[in-house]
């Protein structure tokens, strides 16, 4: 039985299928897009923030270590394995 969208949105992140990897990607993408908007309207130096996020995502792909996922796990965030 499929639950309604509203009850699914009210469920905890790990029950909605939000794994740590998805959370990291969503936050990384949001910060990268925000840096583009800030660079366009405020100052071009905001592009350094997007570059920093990109480098950290590449580093995480190679090493398997990510500070944000470690902090999420230690704070009781979403689980690693999808449900």
How many Å apart are CA 36 and CA 44, to the nearest integer?
A: 9
46/76: higher pLDDT: 46
Q: Give 64-81 pLDDT, tens digit per residue.
A: 888 877 777 776 655 554
Residue with tokens 């583009």: 36
76/1: higher pLDDT: 76
In sequence order, what DSSP letters do the residues of 8-56 get, joined into one string?
HHHS-GGGTT--HHHHHHHHHHHHHHHHHHHHHHT-GGGHHHHHHHHHH
The domain spans of the chain are: 16-74
């Amino acid at each position: 039985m499929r639950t309604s969208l509203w009850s699914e949105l009210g469920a905890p992140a790990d029950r909605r299928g939000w794994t740590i990897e998805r959370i990291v990607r969503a936050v990384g993408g949001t910060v990268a897009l925000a840096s583009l908007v800030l660079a366009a309207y405020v100052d071009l130096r905001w592009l350094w923030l997007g570059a920093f996020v990109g480098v950290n995502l590449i580093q995480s792909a190679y090493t398997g270590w990510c500070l944000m996922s470690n902090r999420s796990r230690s704070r009781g965030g979403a689980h690693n394995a999808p449900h």
